Structure 1
């Protein structure tokens, strides 16, 4: 009973194999070459897509890095500008006023300026300062 079903299936598989419709079958060299070429083209397309994706990712990464560098440069320039603005007038006064003073006098002057600044800071924190007046 099973032989009635198996024989036609076996014969059909043998005919497919001989005609080359099954990969690796005898007599189907042209069919196999076509299949090989198709899979080769697919693999090449996959490689090209992967390469394009990698290149795109690299470009995006480079753009991000460049944007980060530009941002850091801008921040650095802003910091330098703030320093020059804050220290500009004070620094010029300090340099012109301190020129030629002995180091002990310079240290005493710096200590006095620090104490004065701390006193103003404490008055501001306590709320003792009113109308931007400084009580010495």
Structure 2
């Protein structure tokens, strides 16, 4: 079995009271007191002026950057459009040249019902035989 040990009844427990907000306590000996560092007070008007000038500078930088990007994109769009037009013209020329090499046969006799499906070789033989 385990033995439970506890303090004897009737003994007094010493409690120490402390202040919950120690930053507001006055020091007993002000010479030995180490407190918070004193910050230099700022002039709010100066800070607001700096913030406004920074915001204006950033806004002008972004506006200039956007204008530069718009010019670059407009130039690229025009180049791409011209390239597409040239490709379309080339394709049209190639199609016209190919059209001149096509041979079209009309009124070929149909195969008899008992013959299987006609093949490319059958058509080639038919053309060679008629020439």
TM-score normalised according to structure 2 size: 0.50
Larger Rg: 2
TM-score normalised according to structure 1 size: 0.48
